[in-house]
Amino acid sequence: MIRALLALLALWPAIAFGQLASTASTLTIDRAEAVRSDWNATTAPATGWTPVTLMDYWDARWPEHDGVVWYRLHWRQDDASRSTALLIDYVCMTSAVYVNGSLVARNPGLVEPLSRTWNSPQYFLLSPPLLRQGENTVLVRVSGLTAYQPGFGTVTVGDPEVVHAQYRSDRFRRYDIKLINLAMSMVLGGVFLLVWLLRRQETVYGWFALSEFSGSLYGANFIATSTWPFPSTDAWQAFIAAMYMAAGASYAMFLLRYGERRYPRLERIMGALCASGLVAAAFAPGWMGPHRTPWILLGGAFFYIAIGWFLSRAWRVRRVDYVVMAGCVIAPVLVSFYDFALYFGWVRGDTYLLSLTSVLTLIGVGFVLAYRFVIAMRRMEGFNAELQREVDAATSNLAATLSRQHAVELAHSRAGERLQLVRDLHDGFGGTLIGAITQLEQLPDDMPKAKVVDVLKDMRDDLRLVVDSTAREHADLAAQLAPLRHRLARLMELAGIDSRWQLEGLDGIELGTARSLDLLRLMQEALANVFKHSNARCVDVRLECVDGVLRLRIADDGQGMAMQASTDAGGAGLVSMRVRAGRLGGQLRIHSDASGTGLQLQFPVRLEDRNPRAETATT
């Protein structure tokens, strides 16, 4: 069964590429004579010729012969006046071709380092002067090394158009498609190398890139026409064997990483074997080249074992990308059996087929990339959905926290407003109430009703001041001082105190509701103290704005007060005045002696306290 499979694979190139058979217009020569000679022979020996059947490998006949073998063929030419085409199917390694004693073609490297013409057929158009009517002779000088299957293939002569078509078909099959495969491998290796450089944690891409690059260097064996940059055929073959082994190890690592498995000991063994192969190729090419077979087998073992393991894993896991990749590696495995049979000479042929399966590799890897991209996109979408849920939950928690914080701040604000209201009632309405009580106590029992009404109106006006200063958001400071000045002046007049007011530079200043009320209540508390305690005859009130600073001075000529009283923080009036002064951004200073009491306060006017429209209108 294995032989039948190998025979089928051997016939496959002819089926796939439409290989031409002999027709009436062409003749395929498969019988020749061969004789060996040394490297420097310029002419064929006269004796020693041996009949051979083409294709002929001389390593079986002369196993120790490194050098030159001459092949001689004959055909009959019925019409020597017409051009005839000559197609040499296979020469390993290099050759010189003579037709009827005339040199037709000569490869440059007939001695070491040898040229490499085994990978492509050779086509020649023979003009009538080279031909003879009747029998014609082709003499081919083949240079080769017995370690590398030296030999000579069939020769086709006949109609140039038909022979050239066969040449194009054979060249495409044996050379052009190998060149295309090499280009594809280099492109694939470059793409995956870039992917790995961008995502170093994805080592599967790096191993595949290394597998493609090393496989491309091995594939150069099928298209190279010289041993450059190596000095000999042995060095070239040693390098090719090392690259094949490196390609096998890299491909095994790729499949292991793709299968999400690690075997450190096995991986170290493969690395050591590859390193030893590279060292041998670099320092002992003359030994490794002719003995490259164990290294080739070792590289093949890497391929087969890794692929077998991956097929088993794909069968167990049944993941979509595993199954597709497994299907794409089966065909190369089957084809490789034929290539190994051809390498060992178990079948006859001139074309290695493994490179023809590169399209399957491209399809498999392309699907893998697309599959992994889709999986990554799904994971990203899932991550985004999870992130959105986390954001929504965090937003809800933040909203609840802000709501609780707002409730706490609202409670604090209400407490502050209640405290502010208490102070306003004490400083404003309380002072007015005390003044009204004093007036009523001093009036006789038959006090007219109108007088009581006036006192009640004053109390109403003072209460209205609290309400208005709290309710109005925007009010000019001078306008807010007018009603306070009016009521306090009347109160001072009842006590026989002459009040003198000086207001300067207040146009366009709006302190805002809270700060205006603080200033007004501080002034009201201070003047209420003058009214209640000073026994003064006059009081001076001066409020001015100079260089962005509001300055308040209240001075009376009364009896003064004790210093401890002026600095005592326990009195509600003085404490309230100091608190208000602090909120305004200033510090309250009080000076008192036997000649009277003076109060001073200054604080800065902020930029938002100025009303540009009012200032413009005043100007």
442-471: pLDDT as tens digits: 666 665 656 666 666 666 666 666 655 555
- SS3 label, residue 21: coil
More confident residue, 340 or 100: 100
CA distance 422 to 439: 24
Count of Cβ atoms closer than 10 Å to residue 236 Cβ: 25
pLDDT at position 20 over 50: no
More confident residue, 255 or 19: 255
Tell me the mean pLDDT in the region 178-192.
86
CA distance 390 to 400: 15
**Distance separating the N- and C-terminal Cα atoms of the chain:** 115
Give the per-residue pLDDT at 62.
92
Give the single-character DSSP code of 161.
H
Give the per-residue pLDDT at 467.
59
Which range, 19-28, 317-326, 369-378, 534-543, is most confident? 534-543
Bridge partners for 177 per DSSP: none
pLDDT at position 568 over 50: no
Contact 277, 248 (CB under 8 A): no
Give the per-residue pLDDT at 411.
73
Tell the residue number behind the tokens 């992130």, with chain if given. Answer: 387
pLDDT in tens, 398-440: 888 888 887 787 777 666 666 666 666 655 566 666 666 666 6
Give the single-character DSSP code of 59.
T
Contact 525, 503 (CB under 8 A): no
* CA 26 to each of CA 14, 22, 77, 91, 127: distance values in angstroms, whole numbers, following the listed order: 18, 6, 11, 20, 16
HEC string for 325-337:
HHHHHHHHHHHHH
Token pair for 242: 């090392």
Query: Looking at 269-273, 312-316, 423-427, which range is the least confident one?
Result: 423-427
pLDDT at position 357 over 70: no
CA distance 283 to 238: 10
* CA 320 to each of CA 372, 387, 481: distance values in angstroms, whole numbers, following the listed order: 11, 28, 87
CA distance 460 to 427: 15
**Type of residue numbered 266:** L
Q: What is the DSSP string of 178-234?
A: HHHHHHHHHHHHHHHHHHHHH-TT-HHHHHHHHHHHHHHHHHGGGT-SS-TTSSSHH
Give the per-residue pLDDT at 32.
95
CA distance 103 to 140: 10
pLDDT at position 514 over 90: no
- SS3 label, residue 63: coil
**Type of residue numbered 124:** F
pLDDT at position 594 over 70: yes
**CATH superfamily ID and name for 27-158:** Galactose-binding domain-like (2.60.120.260)
Give the per-residue pLDDT at 420.
64
CA distance 557 to 596: 4
Give the contacts of 179 (CB within 8 A, at least 6 positions apart).
223
Give the per-residue pLDDT at 405.
84
Give the per-residue pLDDT at 270.
92
To the nearest whole number, what is the mean pLDDT of the chain? 81
Under the banding of pLDDT at 50, 70 and 90, the label for residue 354 is: low
**Sign of the CA dihedral running 40, 44, 46, 47:** positive
Give the per-residue pLDDT at 345.
65
Token pair for 286: 């003359």
**Type of residue numbered 417:** E
Tell the residue number behind the tokens 């597998």, with chain if given. Answer: 211
Bridge-based pairing of strands 67-77 and 31-37 is antiparallel
Count of Cβ atoms closer than 10 Å to residue 11 Cβ: 12
Bridge partners for 478 per DSSP: none
Give the per-residue pLDDT at 219.
87
Tell me the mean pLDDT in the region 214-229.
90
Count of Cβ atoms closer than 10 Å to residue 447 Cβ: 13
pLDDT at position 569 over 50: no
pLDDT at position 105 over 60: yes
pLDDT in tens, 519-565: 888 888 888 888 878 888 899 999 998 888 889 999 998 888 754 34
Tell me the mean pLDDT in the region 338-363.
66
Give the per-residue pLDDT at 472.
52
Give the per-residue pLDDT at 513.
73
Under the banding of pLDDT at 50, 70 and 90, the label for residue 11 is: very low
Query: Looking at 72-86, 319-333, 404-418, 502-516, which range is the least confident one?
Result: 404-418
- Phi/psi of residue 263, each to 5°? -130, 85
Bridge partners for 357 per DSSP: none
pTM over 0.85: no
More confident residue, 386 or 345: 386
Count of Cβ atoms closer than 10 Å to residue 453 Cβ: 10
Give the per-residue pLDDT at 124.
95
HEC string for 535-587:
CCCEEEEEEEEECCEEEEEEEECCCCCCHHHHHCCCCHHHHHHHHHHHHHCCC
More confident residue, 294 or 10: 294
pLDDT at position 197 over 70: yes
Burial of 487 (0-12, 13-18, 19+ CB in 10 A): buried
pLDDT at position 584 over 70: yes
Give the per-residue pLDDT at 579.
87
Tell me the mean pLDDT in the region 293-314.
89
Bridge-based pairing of strands 538-546 and 549-556 is antiparallel
Give the per-residue pLDDT at 237.
94
**Type of residue numbered 1:** M
Query: Looking at 423-432, 572-581, 596-605, which range is the least confident one?
Result: 423-432
Count of Cβ atoms closer than 10 Å to residue 342 Cβ: 20
All structural domains of the chain with their residue ranges: 27-158, 185-352, 416-618
* CA 97 to each of CA 89, 94, 137, 473, 562: distance values in angstroms, whole numbers, following the listed order: 13, 10, 11, 112, 137
Give the contacts of 24 (CB within 8 A, at least 6 positions apart).
none
Under the banding of pLDDT at 50, 70 and 90, the label for residue 278 is: very high
Q: CA Rg, the chain, in Å?
A: 56
CA distance 41 to 38: 6
pLDDT at position 242 over 90: yes
More confident residue, 158 or 568: 158
Look up the CATH architecture of domain 416-618.
Answer: 2-Layer Sandwich (3.30)
More confident residue, 607 or 279: 279
Task: Give CA 562 to chain center in angstroms.
Answer: 80
pLDDT at position 131 over 90: yes
Longest dimension (CA), the chain: 172
Give the per-residue pLDDT at 394.
87
Instruction: Count the helix, strand and coil residues of the chain and give each as a percent rounded to the nearest 5.
Output: 60, 15, 25
Give the per-residue pLDDT at 22.
45
Token pair for 510: 């709006």
Contact 9, 349 (CB under 8 A): no
- Report whether the peptide linkage leading into residue 129 is cis, meaning its omega lies within 30 degrees of zero: no
